[in-house]
Amino acid sequence: MNISDAAGLIGRFQTTAIPLLAAVVALQLFLLIFLWLRLNTLSKKYTTFMAGSAGGSLESRLNELLSGLEQEAKKNEELRFAVRDLQQTCLNMIQHVGIVRFNAFPDAGSDLSFAIAMLDEHRNGFVFSSIFGRDESRVYAKPIHRGQSEYHLSQEEKQALEQATKAKKI
């Protein structure tokens, strides 16, 4: 290889190296700006995270958060037990109601007599009925166990019981 070939090779290297070097510098400048912006974002997040800790360490802040999390877990467990107790209690509360109004006596006027069935989730409860007449009114209460009564039910009381059995929860 002679000197003129070497000079030509160096000249070609210089003409291709300058754009390559400019591309590398531009890429480094882009990465530098990107990293500066990313560091700025992380710095803001860190400042927000550490706000109010008066120079406390990250470890103490995390311990505070874990302690709070444990307290919330205990409260959550207590609430779970309370909800379960309430659900059990609600099973024994009146949840289904059926009402039938009727005219017990043709000469008494409008539908002033009634039968009301009130049942819990287990279909236990009572049928309460009132027979209204011109001269007197009578009131009856009959217990219901599992949707059945040991006492004779009138047609209207049976209708009220059927309504309550099919009724959605109150």
- Domain residue extents for the chain: 1-51, 59-91, 96-166
17-69 pLDDT, tens digit per residue, is 777 788 889 999 999 999 999 999 999 988 887 776 565 677 777 888 999 99
| Amino acid at residue number 12 | R
Comparison of pLDDT for 11 and 134, the residue scoring more: 134
Degrees (nearest 5) of the Cα angle 108, 109, 113?
70
Dist CA 163 CA 20 (whole Å) = 88
Structural tokens at position 154: 């009138």
Q: Would you say residue 139 has pLDDT above 70?
A: yes
Q: What mean pLDDT is reported for the chain?
A: 86
What pLDDT sits at residue 132?
Answer: 87
90 closest CA partner among 46, 113, 122:
122
Q: What would the DSSP string read from start to end of 15-30?
A: HHHHHHHHHHHHHHHH
At position 65, the amino acid (one-letter code) is L
Question: What is the average pLDDT across 69-92?
Answer: 92
